């Protein structure tokens, strides 16, 4: 029997659950990129920043819930555009700021459900492009996003000095 997952908007009582999932993601990403914040540095202030960004960009803050427990979340910013890209023609896009699933619930379709709902919301807002960022070294996430229909758009490179 498959466990029922509910995708809904974030509510204040979800705070602790979102923080726990964000810390799971931070722990995993920190193993790939040492300059990430420590998981314990992710807390209420981080969630407040997410909420402000979502509000400023008229987006959505979605949570995935199973039996009252937060198992994932996704932030969507629907009012982004290419105005900061002088070499590109002007266009609008939506941006997935965060997509996180609890470590114990990964590879169960929850991330895909969150991405699908974000896409529906963006499309309903009249947006035709959905973007996100992923660590180049996060091969599993890159494969997941490719399965969801994402293609690489811009690759940033850096070198230590």
**What is the side-by-side order of every strand in the sheet holding 60-66?**
6-9, 60-66, 69-81, 92-101, 130-132
Nearest to 28 by CA among 145, 139, 151, 158: 139
Query: How many other β-carbons are positioned within 10 Å of the β-carbon of residue 97?
Result: 18
Is 156 a residue whose pLDDT tops 80?
yes
Asked if residue 155 is part of any domain, the answer here is no
pTM of the predicted model as reported, rounded to 2 decimal places:
0.91
Q: Note down the domain range covering 131.
A: 6-147
Give the Cα separation of 25 and 144 in Å (integer).
15
CATH code at 53? Answer: 3.40.630.30
Q: How far is CA 156 from CA 106, 147, 152, in A?
A: 27, 22, 11
Instruction: Give the pLDDT confidence score for residue 1 in this predicted structure.
Output: 44
Are 54 and 63 in contact by the 8 Å Cβ rule? The answer is no
Asked if residue 143 is part of any domain, the answer here is yes
Asked if residue 153 is part of any domain, the answer here is no
Asked if residue 110 is part of any domain, the answer here is yes
pLDDT (tens digit per residue) in 35-94: 889 899 999 999 999 999 999 999 999 999 999 999 999 999 999 999 988 898 999 999
Asked if residue 77 is part of any domain, the answer here is yes
Asked if residue 157 is part of any domain, the answer here is no
Asked if residue 64 is part of any domain, the answer here is yes
Q: Is 93 left (phi over 0), alpha (psi -120 to 50) or beta?
A: beta
Q: Please count the structural domains in the chain.
A: 1
Asked if residue 12 is part of any domain, the answer here is yes
């Amino acid at each position: 029997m498959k466990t029922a997952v509910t995708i809904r908007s974030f509510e204040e009582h979800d705070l602790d659950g979102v923080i726990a999932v964000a810390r799971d993601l931070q722990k995993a990403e920190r193993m790939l990129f040492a300059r990430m914040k420590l998981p314990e540095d992710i807390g209420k202030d981080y969630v407040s920043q997410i909420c402000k960004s979502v509000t400023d960009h008229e987006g959505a803050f979605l949570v995935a819930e199973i039996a009252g427990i937060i198992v994932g979340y996704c932030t969507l910013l629907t009012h982004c555009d290419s105005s900061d890209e002088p070499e590109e023609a002007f266009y609008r896009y939506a941006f997935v700021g965060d997509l996180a699933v609890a470590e114990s619930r990964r590879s169960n379709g929850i991330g895909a459900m969150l991405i699908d709902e974000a896409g529906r919301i963006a499309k309903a807002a009249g947006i035709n492009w959905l973007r996100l960022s992923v660590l180049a070294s996060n091969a599993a996430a890159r494969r997941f996003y490719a399965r969801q229909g994402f293609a690489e758009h811009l690759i940033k490179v850096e070198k230590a000095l």
